[in-house]
Structure 1
Amino acid sequence: MAKNGQAGNGRVGAVKNRTQFETPSGHYAKRDSDTGRIMDVKTSSKTPFKGVTKEK
Structure 2
Amino acid sequence: MATNPPTGDGHRKGAVRDRSQTYNPQNQRWTKRGPDGKFMDQKADNKPFKGVRREK
Shorter-chain TM band: 0.7 to 0.9
- Structure 2 partner of 1:18: 19
Amino acid at match of 2:53: T
- Structure 1 partner of 2:40: 39
Q: What is the number of residues matched between the two proteins?
A: 54
For residues 11 and 23 of structure 1, do their structure 2 counterparts lie closer, same or farther at Cα, with a shift above 3 Å needed? same
Q: Normalization by structure 2: what TM-score?
A: 0.83
Q: Normalization by structure 1: what TM-score?
A: 0.83
Q: By how many angstroms is 1:36 displaced?
A: 0.5
Select the structure that is richer in strand: 1
**Runs of 5+ in structure 1 lacking a partner?**
none
For residues 4 and 26 of structure 1, do their structure 2 counterparts lie closer, same or farther at Cα, with a shift above 3 Å needed? same
**Runs of 5+ in structure 2 lacking a partner?**
none
| Aligned alpha-carbon RMSD (Å) | 1.5
Q: After TM superposition, where is structure 1 displaced by more than 4 Å over at least 4 residues in a row?
A: none
Identity of aligned residues (%): 43
